[in-house]
Amino acid sequence: MKNVLLESTGYRVKTLEELKQYVPSAFAETYHPERSKHYSFVPTNELVQALLNLGWELFSGKQNGSSVHSRHIVRFTNPDLGYMDLRSDKVKPQIIIDNSHNGGSSAQLHMGLFRLVCTNGLVVSMPGLYTNVKFRHMGVNQEEIRKLLEVVAEQYKLVGSHIGEMQNVILNSEKKADFVVRAVAQRDPGLFIKDDGTIDTKSILATTNLGQIVEPLRGEDKGNDLWTIFNVVQERLVKGEYTRISRGGEGRSGKARGINHATRNIEFNKGLWEIAESYFPQS
């Protein structure tokens, strides 16, 4: 049976053989030849094996390009963690390996989430939490990773608490429009972020139907709470489920492209999470 392509997380994989088929760069045995001998090479396959040894299971994988040294992501779930205790939603904690062997990025782990209702992959970015760690040394220390994942498992309780807070924050029409404008700018900063760092709201309004982006793709996502709006907007912007109008004055419109680049997907998800956190009531 052919593996399913989960648009936001890559190919669904269950075994190392399947991972090697869809994400061959995760098994590179050496770094790119143009890197110096001082390059800190952290093999992804060692990180993968360490997580498997600690009870995590392969979930999905994706790489940018076809090079054996390309940047790639591999997602894991843990059966012992199950689903998070959330009101009317099923979300699984994940660990994400993000690495390359060409010097383009350091090996790192992210805290992630997988929302069952829409097969969407999220990336957590919460202030004060250990949601991202980079490996800057050679080799992989199993005991170090074990201790790290113990901390991460505890932190998922705080993530669940934050999601609960999101479910209690209601966005009115004005705040929903503001959220979408900021999300669209985060998705395409080259188009909608000015040189001074401010958002080009006029261009967004001229090219994007904000109402379409907050329109649920399924009945389960009807609601005005922050968690629901966050997920609807995330899914539409990641999958390109909205219409974009050309800026050249011709008025032509077409379906937006999805975010297929693995690394850009992570960066957008983290930025969107930070935007959502900014709507919490100020203490």
The per-residue DSSP string of 29-70 comes to SS--TTS-TT-----HHHHHHHHHHTT-EEEEEEESSS-TT-
Together in a domain, 66 and 115: yes
* Number of domains making up the chain: 2
DSSP lists the bridge partners of residue 243 as 255
User: How far is C-alpha 106 from the geometric centre of its chain's CA atoms?
Assistant: 17
Residue 107 lies in a domain: yes
Question: Is the domain of 162 the same as that of 58?
Answer: yes
| Token pair of 161 as six digits | 């608490």
Instruction: Establish if 243 belongs to a structural domain.
Output: yes
Terminal CA-to-CA distance of the chain, rounded, Å? 52
Instruction: Tell me, yes or no, whether 213 and 134 share the same domain.
Output: no
* Same structural domain, 33 and 140: yes
Q: How many CB atoms lie within 10 A of CB 58?
A: 19
Does residue 29 sit in the same domain as residue 123? yes
Structural domain for 135, as ranges: 5-167
Task: Please say if the pLDDT value at position 25 is more than 70.
Answer: yes
Do 163 and 29 belong to one domain? yes
Residue 88 lies in a domain: yes
Q: Quote the mean pLDDT of the chain.
A: 84
Both 177 and 157 in one domain: the answer is no
Residue 283 lies in a domain: no
- Give the pair of three-digit tokens for residue 47: 């990180």
Rg (the chain; Cα; Å): 19
- Which of 99, 132, 167 terminates a domain? The answer is 167
Helix (H) or strand (E) holding 229: helix 226-239
Degrees, nearest 5: CA angle 117-163-177: 80
SS3 207: helix
Q: What global pTM score does this model have?
A: 0.84
Q: What local confidence, expressed as pLDDT, does residue 190 receive? A: 93
Is residue 43 domain-shared with residue 157, that is, in the same domain? yes
**Res 171 pLDDT > 90:** yes
Confidence tier at 185 by pLDDT (50, 70, 90): very high
Average pLDDT of 148-169?
A: 88
Same domain, 214 and 149: no
DSSP 195: T
Percent share of the chain, pLDDT over 70:
84
> Which one of 145, 167, 189 terminates a domain?
167
Q: Does 282 reside within a domain? A: no
- Alpha carbon distance 144, 140 (integer Å): 8
Task: Flag whether pLDDT at 48 surpasses 90.
Answer: yes
User: Band of the pLDDT at 60, cuts 50, 70, 90?
Assistant: very high
Residue 222 sits in the same domain as residue 235: yes
Tell me the pLDDT band of 115, cut-offs 50, 70 and 90: confident
Would you say residue 10 lies in a domain? Answer: yes
User: What is the maximum span of the chain, computed from C-alpha positions, in angstroms?
Assistant: 60
**Rounded to the nearest 5 degrees, what angle is found at the Cα of 267, between the Cα atoms of 266 and 269?**
65
Report the alpha-carbon distance of residue 98 to residue 75 in Å, rounded.
9
Paired tokens of 264: 């850009």
pLDDT of residue 10: 83
Q: Is the pLDDT of residue 7 over 90?
A: no
Q: What is the pLDDT of residue 36?
A: 46
Are residue 122 and residue 162 in the same domain, yes or no? yes
pLDDT band at 38 (very low <50, low <70, confident <90, very high): very low
Of 113, 136, 167, the position where a domain reaches its end is 167
pLDDT band with cut points at 50, 70 and 90 for residue 149: confident
User: Are 231 and 258 members of one domain?
Assistant: yes
